[in-house]
Amino acid sequence: MNLKNNPVDLLHFCPKCGSANFATTGPRSKHCGNCSFNYFFNTSAAASALVFDEKGRLMLTRRAINPHKGKLDLPGGFVEYYETAEEAITRELHEELGAEVAEINYFGTFPNQYEFSGMIVHTLDSTFVIKLKTFDNLIPQDDISAIEFHDPATIELDEIPFNSIRNTITLLQKTKK
């Protein structure tokens, strides 16, 4: 596990009372000596989509923002606190592509480390195989700059910056053989 920029090491004040008496008690926890608040740095939920065109090619997007601007990614994003992973991927596909979902099927989950604002956000990425209502009028929006379709067997994993997405594509490649 990469501990560079671990939130346990970066957050020095209690989020409840603001005290600097906020001691590390484990690899993902802290305790406030003033107000007795215990804080655990838990995994954030994210969702990604495996979308295939009529030729069996996988949809990949180009990131329009950092981290990893210009690199390949699967469409998706963070799950809001009031959403299921299925609701999140449906929302993200609409925000990023203008797409409407026709069918959702679970594929798998992989842990990830997403560096944002100089801090590691540990995520658990839920991936779904998605059938869209139509491929007409898909437009890169939100935080993507392009939509591309690739043969899953020939995707260059070096172009994928996130471990969870590389692991998802590796599993996909194994299941497609």
Domains and CATH numbers, the chain: 7-40 (no CATH), 44-175 (3.90.79.10)
Residue 45 and residue 126 in contact, taking contact as beta carbons nearer than 8 Å? yes
Instruction: Provide the β-strand partners of residue 45.
Output: 124
Q: What is the pLDDT of residue 1?
A: 44
Indicate the helix (H) or strand (E) that contains 145: strand 144-150
Question: Does 94 have pLDDT greater than 50?
Answer: yes
Select from 32, 63, 81 the least CA-distant residue to 141.
63
Average pLDDT over residues 101-114: 95
Average pLDDT over residues 27-53: 95
Q: What is the pLDDT of residue 114?
A: 84
- Distance CA(147)–CA(138), nearest Å, equals 8
Neighbours of 169 (CB within 10 A): 21
Average pLDDT over residues 5-13: 84
pLDDT above 90: percentage of residues in the chain: 80
- Residue 104 pLDDT grade (very low, low, confident, very high; cuts 50, 70, 90): very high
- Distance CA(35)–CA(27), nearest Å, equals 21
The amino acid that residue 11 corresponds to is L
Strands of the sheet with 144-150, listed across from one edge: 72-73, 58-63, 144-150
The amino acid that residue 134 corresponds to is T
- Distance CA(14)–CA(16), nearest Å, equals 5
Rounded CA Rg of the chain: 18
